[in-house]
A and B are shown apart, each in its own frame.
Chain A
Amino acid sequence: SQTIHQWPATLVQPVGSPLSLECTVEGTSNPNLYWYRQAAGRGLQLLFYSVGIGQISSEVPQNLSASRPQDRQFILSSKKLLLSDSGFYLCAWSGQGAMDTQYFGPGTRLTVL
């Protein structure tokens, strides 16, 4: 069966520091991968999605970036964190079908101080 991992689970970082969040998927190949952010009291906002290695689409302009160095690895990065980057970051995967179900990881709680 497929599983999705995210780490770290929680992270506290100072403003201006770099960021690297990692997501990996097991038990499937060629997945679509997604990064979402969930701010307090708000729904999920799609940040990036990827349909293949090195293929990244950005949904929202921001100081974050994403990379997909391997088929089942998706990384969310920032060179300099802002206070507004605080939130709960969720990675998800789906099949390549037109509207395949998205399956979510456990999330990373990021607090920027």
Chain B
Amino acid sequence: AQSVTQPDIHITVSEGASLELRCNYSYGATPYLFWYVQSPGQGLQLLLKYFSGDTLVQGIKGFEAEFKRSQSSFNLRKPSVHWSDAAEYFCAVGTGFQKLVFGTGTRLLVSP
């Protein structure tokens, strides 16, 4: 069965520092991969997605993610974190049948 692992429950990063959030997936075929962000008490907003092609995907708000098939990973990165990036981040894998399997999320805290 498909699964997504986000090994970090919480991450604290200083404002202006770089960020990497880890995501590992389990899926037998070529996956569709997504990163969503959720502010407290809000719905989810799509940051970026990977379907095929270039393995480095650019998203909104200066985020990018790299698909590494050999490592079954789709880590999210940002070169310089802003205080407004504090939120919860979810990685998800799509199975091609319009169903998403989500990880348990990583809560990002940004320190001044």
Residues of A within 8 A of B (CB): 6, 32, 41-46, 49, 51, 59, 90, 92, 94, 98-107, 109
Contact = CB atoms under 8 A, between A and B. Distances in A.
B93 to A, nearest CB: 10
Interface stretch (B62-70, B72-80, B94-102): B94-102
Interface of B is mostly: strand
Contacts of B96: 98-99
Give the interface size bracket for B toward A. 20 to 34
A101 B46 contact: yes
Contact of B43 (A49, A90, A98): A90
A99 B41 contact: no
A100 B98 CA distance: 7
A43 B98 contact: no
B79 to A, nearest CB: 25
A51 B4 CA distance: 25
Given A43-B105, A99-B32, A99-B51, A32 B45 contact: no
Contact of A43 (B43, B46, B103): B103
A99 B94 CA distance: 7
Contacts of B98: 32, 49, 51, 94, 98-100
B38 to A, nearest CB: 8
B58 interface: no
Contacts of B4: 43
